[in-house]
Amino acid sequence: MRRCRLFLVLLFPWLITGCSHLAASSPPPLATITPKAIQPTQSSVTPTSRREPTATATAVPTSIAELPTATPDIIGTVTALRQPRIYAAYPSSDGQWRMKVVIFDCVPVGETDEAAYEQLILIRARDGVEQIVDTQLIYCGGLGAYGFKGLFWSPNSRYFYYTSAREGSPDGLCSYWEPPIFSFEVTTGNKEAIGMGPRSPDGKKIAAWYGDGEIVVWDIDAGEVGHVSIAAAGNIAGPIVWSPDSRALIYLQTTTYCPPRGKSYVGRIDLPDLQHTPVIESEALSFEDARWDTPNRIRLFDESGREWLYDFATKELKPQ
């Protein structure tokens, strides 16, 4: 059984750690009719402009910040009984900074419980001054996603990107999920939860779900570009897939978490204006995954594993 089990539900309310397993029934036979692709329409939703970072920079402290006081007894016990170990270190692109993940492994706390503690720490290269960026108290012996892991620095060394779900996954998971992505801006000390989603093929952007009804597009060097509210808000978020040229993306949604997933939706967002276009709405097919490896065509996979092709030029959906 997996050891440690914490997920940041406060920041990502649509992901629940430790939830009960959802009952999965067998998917019903697919209808014999082929669903029609809907005609694209101009979305009335206007994406917001990028939020500019705070002008006032947060000074790097001269020593390690104090540990959180929300659970002082537990954190104090863990840090007193375990020597910290470095899980990984990540130097910035310009060599001026280094981020490291420090782990205090599981120790008994109370009669039956065990806990561990992790820190994400920024180090200034010229003098070794450290700053705690993020912390995570982990209860051991259960299920869930937990643990810090660095993903990458922005090429200009302005942002460090990381996840809080290095190990495991939410309990009872039977739908799309990716480890959530966070950004930390070195000069201001701002930390933001971006969401869950992929990096673009050119490596310059991230597209992520922020809740089930909103997609945010993030420039890795410059921060948030904007976000789009999806017409089918309230449904279950599915995969986000970038176009080969990184100039557009598609997203999938269904009406339920586990099979049978019910009605499915496919939408498209074009950059740089973040123009949102509904593409497919299907009662007969529930699409679980997609690939975009040809400029004007996407491959869709339903919950039975069958492949379908959608052509953006002809607006036709055909079985493969």
pLDDT score for 8: 37
CATH architecture of 200-320: 7 Propeller (2.130)
pLDDT score for 72: 63
pLDDT score for 110: 80
Residue scoring higher pLDDT (302 or 111): 302
Residue 40 has pLDDT above 90, yes or no: no
> What is the tens place of the pLDDT at every residue in 245-256?
999 999 999 999
Q: Is 145 left (phi over 0), alpha (psi -120 to 50) or beta?
A: beta
β-pair type (264-270, 248-254): antiparallel
Name the pTM for this structure: 0.78
pLDDT score for 111: 82
Q: Where are the domains of the chain?
A: 60-196, 200-320
pLDDT interval class at 141 (50, 70, 90): confident
Distance from C-alpha of 86 to C-alpha of 171, rounded to nearest angstrom: 27
* Beta-carbon-side half-sphere exposure of residue 24 (alpha carbons within 13 Å): 12
- Averaged pLDDT for residues 262-281: 96
> What is the tens place of the pLDDT at every residue in 194-225?
999 999 999 999 999 987 789 999 999 999 99
* Beta-carbon-side half-sphere exposure of residue 3 (alpha carbons within 13 Å): 10
pLDDT interval class at 64 (50, 70, 90): very low
